[in-house]
Chains A and B, each alone.
Chain A
Amino acid sequence: MLTLILRRLLLFVPMWIGVSILSFVIVHATPGDPAAAFVGMDASAGSLEVARERLGLDLPYWQQLLNWLGGTLTGNLGDSFFLGRSVWQAIVERLPVTFSLGFLSLLIAVIVGIPLGTAAALAPNSWKDTVSIGVSLTFLSVPEFVVGMILIYVFGVELRWLPIGRYEPLSAGFLPWFYHLLLPALALGLSQSALIARMTRVALLQVLRADYIRTARAKGLPERVVIGKHAFRNAIITIVTVIGLSVALLLSGAFITEALFQLPGVGNLGVSSVLRRDYPVIQGLLLIASSFILVVNLLVDILYAMLNPSVSGR
């Protein structure tokens, strides 16, 4: 187990350098001029030069790349062009929002997805199965922002039950926090629950066909134990993998959902930064997002090892 973790951690170093270079190249290859975005449409050419100098864009590319690389290796991601703060600070400030949203959506996805998938698997080809597949197919095929807009319209504008966005920090109390996040978390969580439901159904169905389940039933174990202890334990590996994947998908879904619900999270920061060409922030986000996915994968591997001892030897 320890070697597995160490091996994965070592992978971080080349990944960090690779992604640093890649993100710099991608960001600088995008057309558009941050200085022009900063000073506005009506600015003169001379003032653009002044702005470029202030933002450090007048330096040759290789020097900008070296500065960036040198910075990332020491954990300094530079300063944002537009936010009046360092990239770290800008991202760290917004993490609670994205984590809150991610956590709630994941919770919703799991709470809805696993029972839905289990119900379908236990009664294949019944009405429960049809409903479950129907619901998950719907949420899988409708994009999050459409679900979000429908939720805003129904619960925010027509029924007026829930606020249609904005973020209240947890420090303002659990209820305001929960209340403001419920709609965006539903928008994001429901589409993920569809994925989890489908995978749960498939995984459980496969396990339920196995000989040892028939044995368990034959020896007269109650169905609760057969499903809960024998079947689920073995299906859970697949389900955990999907939940791990979901975390990555949630992160990308957050880009749109946060903008729709005006949540000042990391996703919203990403969208705004791309639109205004805030190079340091885009680079920083790319780097941190890739590290995050690597960490999640590592955690999933560790979970595997804990759930299924035969993995840890590999």
Chain B
Amino acid sequence: MLRLAKGLMLTSVIFTGLTGAAFAATCEITGGKIQAAMTTNPSTMDPILTTTNASRQIDTHLFESLVTLDENYKIIPQLATSWTKSDDGLTYTFTLRDGVKFHNGAMMTADDVVASVQRFLQFSPGANRFKKVASVEAVDPKTVKITVSEDFPLLTNLSMPSPIIAIMPADIVKKYGKDEIRGADVVGTGPYKLIDWQPDVGVKMQKFADYVPEAGFDGPTGFGGARTACADEVDFLPVTEESSRVAGLQTGDFDFVEALPITSVPDLQNNPDVKVAIVKPTWGIALEIDHKDPWMAKLPFRQALLAAINPEQVLMAATFGQKDYYRVQPSIFFPEQTNWYSDAGSEVYNHPDPDKVKKLLAEAGYNGEPITYLTNQNYGWMYKASQALAAQWQAAGINVQLSLMDWPSQIQRAQHQTDWALNQTGWSPRFDPFQLTDSLGCGSLGAFGYCNDKMQAQLDIINSGATDEQRKAAWQAIQKLVWDDVAVLRIGDYFQPDGIRKTLAGYTPFYVTPRFWNVSQTRK
């Protein structure tokens, strides 16, 4: 017996919930060109080979997946219209949308889906999430069956936008295999198609004339819904110099500018042609801890570090004291992510207490030994946060030494060396708790030696086929353990300002990913 799965129920929720969407359902004007100035250059146009922001920002315009996420981070259908899950939780059957065309004119069939998903499972950096997938098969041209060896949150995993499980034509996918798909073979089903990519110069995308917006929605939502390409062309231009991005926004060379320096915001707010958008959430400021370090291995020492932190001061340092750009907040998931937000265990957060620090340090037997703290200047807010934190710890009698590196070197040292104790980082918003397995699970590279049986047991529930309620309860327990055990240090939220010319109509910020579908270029 098959029962109707979440998917169909969810779609009905979407239909009713969509009326309040901030997005324009139709275009104010069609035609024109949108120029977006981005901070980095994408490393590849092959959507499955990378997890970087720069690639996701482009790929959401070019590619689509079986399922995706809506404005509230809930799963919605995209290239699949519906799906069923067998009672034993081991077989998913997806019905594909009719009449979907690839950018090269071919019609999408189940074979394309099977080939694309199989290539992803073999070669993508995101493949390890799908270890429990046993097989992907085409039942008929409109039906795909995915079998799993053990129940796990398959749909959630399929909906991740980074790396997106892009559906591409089977012949192209088979031709390239593990090699990087390039040039004219970068073909998807999205509202825009790739015209040209010149590294360090820009990505040119053109409206895909044969795109059929999904009929089940009355407007766009999140990464999906009924999307319409209003502008004829969208260009993503890497402009690494922030002062050049600001100048280009002022002159109108750019319609959209990613990551404005906060210091330029007051000036831009007085500019009648420009709007400053605050992207919420953008980054969670966090510190990873090397639990193999002799001091960090001691719980009282980690608790002492926590008791010495005044988060608001740190966040003010990171944002030049601009209140709109930070939030004192303890949860790993952001308050906007109502599904997973939790303040469990946060009584210890934001309670600086010098006496407690002294007591805990004595308990740990600490006598001013140096504690190495890795940071970088590539992200100005990380660097300023580290300076403030280091100052707070030094004032509390903890001999923290900042070690300044560039970002790639910092990542490499953190992952491959053990000569450090604290690692400054920023966490992009996670979509689902399973993504935290990499940071909290025993033996994970990104957990840096952290292993707690209680934590692992809850993570196992998160990664199982448990119900939403069970997974929610497990996540609450994990969030509480993160504080009780000081597994990582969550400091607070940093919001990024983006700049938009007012002539760009219908733009709404979402998840560090500018969306230029249903956005009109009204400038003549």
Binding site for B on A (CB under 8 A): 30-33, 36-48, 50-51, 54, 82-84, 90, 149, 152-153, 156-157, 160, 163-166, 259-262, 264, 268-269, 271-272, 275-277
Contacts and interface: CB of A to CB of B under 8 A. Distances in A.
A152 B126 CA distance: 42
A149 B445 CA distance: 42
B520 interface: no
Given A32-B409, A38-B49, A40-B51, A272 B200 contact: yes
Contacts of B239: 262
Nearest to A271: B240
B128 A153 contact: no
Contacts of A38: 43-44, 49-50
Contact of A264 (B45, B198, B253): B198
27 contacts: A31-B408, A31-B409, A32-B409, A32-B411, A33-B408, A38-B44, A39-B49, A39-B51, A39-B52, A40-B51, A40-B52, A40-B162, A42-B51, A42-B125, A43-B125, A44-B128, A45-B445, A47-B124, A54-B180, A82-B43, A156-B247, A163-B251, A165-B248, A262-B239, A272-B199, A276-B41, A276-B43
Interface in B6-53: 41, 43-45, 49-53
Given A54-B179, A163-B253, A164-B253, A32 B50 contact: no
Contact of B241 (A51, A259, A276): A259
A276 B200 CA distance: 12
B5 interface: no
B377 interface: no
Given A30-B409, A38-B44, A54-B180, A268 B200 contact: yes
Contacts of A149: 243
Contacts of B148: none
B199 A83 contact: yes
Interface in B485-514: none
Contacts of A32: 406, 408-409, 411-412
A39 B412 contact: no
Contacts of A264: 198, 200-201
Nearest to B252: A160
A40 B55 contact: yes
Please indicate which of the listed interface residues A40, A41, A153 has the most CB atoms of chain B within 10 Å of its own CB.
A40
Given A31-B409, A36-B412, A259-B241, A164 B247 contact: yes
B50 A157 contact: no
A164 B438 CA distance: 43
Given A264-B201, A272-B41, 14 more contacts: A33-B408, A36-B408, A36-B411, A38-B44, A40-B52, A43-B125, A44-B125, A44-B127, A84-B45, A84-B183, A84-B197, A160-B251, A165-B248, A259-B240
A31 to B, nearest CB: 4
Interface in B123-177: 123-128, 162
A44 B444 CA distance: 9
A31 B198 contact: no
Contact of B200 (A152, A153, A269): A269
B237 interface: yes
Nearest to A265: B200
B408 A277 contact: yes
B414 to A, nearest CB: 11
Nearest to B198: A264
A46 B128 contact: yes
Interface in B275-330: none
B412 A31 contact: yes
Interface string B189-232: 00000000111110000000000000000000000000000000
Given A40-B52, A277-B408, A260 B127 contact: no
A171 B79 CA distance: 43
Nearest to A274: B406
Given A38-B49, A259-B240, A50 B438 contact: no
B244 interface: yes
A40 B200 contact: no
A50 B48 CA distance: 13
The 10 closest A-B pairs by CB, nearest first: A47-B125, A40-B51, A32-B408, A43-B125, A40-B52, A31-B409, A42-B51, A39-B125, A44-B128, A264-B201
Contacts of B178: 50, 54
Contacts of A277: 408
Contacts of A84: 44-45, 180, 182-183, 197, 199
Contact of A82 (B44, B126, B411, B412): B44
Contacts of B55: 40
A83 B53 CA distance: 17
A275 B41 CA distance: 11
Contacts of A48: 125
Given A36-B412, A277-B408, A47 B244 contact: no
B45 to A, nearest CB: 8
Contacts of B45: 84
A268 B405 CA distance: 21
Contact of A41 (B51, B123, B237, B253): B51
A18 B416 CA distance: 31
A264 B44 CA distance: 18
A43 B160 CA distance: 13
Please indicate which of the listed interface residues B123, B126, B182, B244 has the most CB atoms of chain A within 10 Å of its own CB.
B244
Nearest to B182: A84
Interface in B227-266: 237, 239-241, 243-244, 247-248, 250-251, 253
B44 to A, nearest CB: 7
Interface in B387-437: 405-406, 408-409, 411-413, 415, 428, 435
